[in-house]
Structure 1
Amino acid sequence: MARALVVGANGFIGSHLVDALVGAGHAVRAFDRFSSSKPTFRSQGVEVVQGEFLSRADLESAVTGQDVVFHFLSTTTPATAEADPTLDIRTNVAQTVELLEACVAAGVGHVYFASTGGAIYGPQDKAEYAETDRALPISPYAIGKLTIEHYLSYFRAKHGLQSTVLRVSNPYGTRQRPNRKQGLIPIALRQIALGQPVIRFGDGTMVRDYVYVEDLVHMIVPFVGRETEYRLYNLGSGIGHSVNEVFASLRTVVGREFAIDERPKPPTFVDRVVLDTSRFRAEFGETRLTSLDEGVRLTYEEIRSHPDD
């Protein structure tokens, strides 16, 4: 059993990760602002630490006494990072360096970082992307993630801080906040629930690797306490779906047609990103994957009950 800190524990992936780590028997400390009335994770017995990611003192307090740290917090989304690229540098990048410094001082054994597999490889016109492919990001959000990956290498070389980079594809599912303007599926489902048109960038042929969030966290938990062969892993479904295919699934689930508001595709959007997950599967085995229709159904049930959130 490990003492595990989740940074971003009240976020979309972080809250599910807290539940999965507790379910695996780990002692979990949950760090976040907890600006909502109560934690979004469901597990009992979690040590809740309320604090600011941008506070060095709060980070130092949070990492004290922890064996492993999961860095799953981001102060930006792809959209906000593009609107102000310096914001990502001043917050995510700079503060992650302070988090890593705090981990070194506290004697943390391992850091797991949620990078992006959806944008970090850039437009290379490949059917799928493996960890051995070059990372050529063209968006500020992905550039920031790659910068943090490099800092993890620096801290390993300089201080011996062990780390694993998890390049996550396009996660979706329950507890994802559509009003954060990140995630095609929850945003579209919220628009449908509110009776509003669904925005589509481009003609709908863009392809992404969508992975249901509970499948994702069950891929992550087995990393704890395991000596892995590599320090970088793609995590996703390994299956590509176009935006139009996703919209077809939405129609199946909601049982009705919806209006589409088509807009120009931003120049930093990549046409196709599907992850090669063979490295993970060779080492950890096959993972049960939730079908797109089933994942959309579970997500819609939650959004339909609280469409204004």
Structure 2
Amino acid sequence: MAKALVIGANGFIGSHLVDALVSAGHEVTAFDRFSSQEPTFDAVGVRLFRGEFLSRSDLEEAVAGQDIVFHFLSTTSPATAESDPTLDIRTNIAQTVELLEACAAAKIQHFYFASTGGAIYGPQGKERYSEEDRALPISPYGIGKLAIEHYLSYFEARYGLQSTILRISNPYGTRQHPNRRQGLIPIALRQIAAGQPVLQYGDGSMVRDYVFVEDLVHMIVPMVERDTRHRLYNLGSGGGQSIADILESLRRVTGVSFAVEVRATPSTFVDKVVLDTSRMTEEFGTPELTRLDEGVAATWSEILENP
């Protein structure tokens, strides 16, 4: 079993990843600020490292003695990167390069990066996107993720730092921070809980690949336990749901006939993104996926318990 460092361990995906790694028997160090709350993961025996991602010395101390590193922290969301692209460059990209330098110096065996499958392929008009398709992002968030992917190639060529890129679709589920305005499902559910209209961009036909977060981390953990065939994987449900489909699920689960506020679709939004996940399923098998209504119900229950 590996000594694993999770950067962003108290975040949405990171906290579930900590639980899954511990369950699989790995020795986990959880890196996060842990400033506003206690750890959100359930696992016991996890070493907590209270650190700042923007601190080079904190990163160097955290990676020392680790076997593998999972980088699941982002200082921006698609919306904040859009409003200030330089923030993404100055923090996410620049600091990830510093993290990679620290990992190379510490002789980390493997580095796993949470990229984006929802924004990185851009508006190419395909029914679904495979890892063989070109990455043509038009949003600052997607551009930043692609830049980091290229830096991973550089660090492998220059320093021998092995890495795996995880292009994740549109995850949803429990433990999504209420102040982080990312993801249609959690944002809409919180609007419903507050008695507010649900915001809809466009006519409801925009399609995304939604994957329940617990299903997602169960796709990731097996990659740690064997030599993988590829260094890039699409991770998602492999199917698409329109905004209209999602809103109907929210109505079924909540029992609320909420109002909808329609706004124009931002120019950097892509009309349809569904990931081809056959590379992952052929190598690791077809995962059991949580039904949309079941995943929405779990998310809704947590929001009601923690308004």
CA contact (8 A) 1:114 1:166 kept: yes
Is this contact kept in 1: 2:173–2:213, CA < 8 A? yes
- In structure 1, distance between residues paired with 2:98 and 2:229: 27
Deviation at 1:37, TM superposition (A): 2.6
Within-5 A mapping of 1:201-240: 201-240=201-240
Is the CA contact (8 Å cut-off) linking 2:192 and 2:256 kept in structure 1?
A: no
Contact kept in structure 1, 2:109 and 2:162, CA below 8 Å:
yes
Deviation string 1:29-63 (CA, Å, 9 cap, x unpaired) is: 00001122300001100000000000000000000
Counterpart-to-counterpart distance in 1, 2:57 and 2:68: 19
Query: Which consecutive segments of 4 or more residues in structure 1 shift more than 3 A?
Result: none
* Rounded Cα–Cα distance in structure 1 between residues aligned with 2:80 and 2:53: 17
Mapped partners of 1:195, 1:305: distance in 2: 16
Partner amino acid, structure 2, of 1:201: Y
Is the counterpart of residue 37 in structure 1 residue 37 in structure 2? Answer: yes
- Give the corresponding residue for 1:77: 77
Deviation of 1:228 after TM superposition, in Å, equals: 0.8
- 1:225 deviates by 3.5
CA distance in 2, matches of 1:303, 1:163: 35
**Aligned: 1:105 with 2:105:** yes
2:117 aligned partner: 117
Tell me by how many angstroms 1:198 deviates. 0.6
Q: What residue number does 1:194 align with?
A: 194
Q: Structure 1 unaligned runs (5+)?
A: none
Distance (Å, rounded) in 2 between the aligned partners of 1:279 and 1:110? 20
Name structure 2 gaps, 5 residues minimum: none
* CA shift digits 1:229-281 (9 cap, x unpaired): 11000000001000000000000000121011111100000000000000000
Aligned length: 307
> Could you tell me how far apart the structure 2 residues matched to 1:52 and 1:184 are?
28
User: Sequence identity, in percent?
Assistant: 73
TM-score by length of 1: 0.99
**What residue identity is the alignment partner of 2:38?**
K
Aligned to 2:286: 286
Q: Deviations over 1:88-108 (max 9, x none)?
A: 000000000000000011111
Q: What is the letter of the counterpart of residue 150 of structure 2?
A: H
The separation in 1 between residues aligned to 2:94 and 2:170, in whole angstroms, is 25
Residue 168 of structure 1 contacts residue 234 of structure 1 at CA under 8 Å; is this kept in 2? yes
Aligned to 2:248: 248
Distance 1:29 1:178 in 2: 25
| Alpha-carbon separation, structure 1, partners of 2:77 and 2:97 | 19
Question: 1-side partners of 2:115 and 2:18: how far apart?
Answer: 18
Amino acid at match of 2:236: G
Residue type matched to 1:168 in 2?
I
Deviations 1:196-232 (A, max 9, x none): 1110011110000000000000000011142111100
Is the CA contact 1:179–1:187 (under 8 Å) kept in the aligned structure 2?
Answer: no
Aligned alpha-carbon RMSD (Å):
0.6
Question: What's the counterpart of residue 58 of structure 1?
Answer: 58
Map of 1:305 onto structure 2: 305
Equivalent position of 1:132 in the other structure: 132
Q: CA–CA distance in 2 between the matches of 1:225 and 1:147?
A: 27
Aligned-partner SS, 2:209: strand
Determine the C-alpha separation between the residues in 2 that align with 1:25 and 1:10: 19
Distance 1:72 1:43 in 2: 18
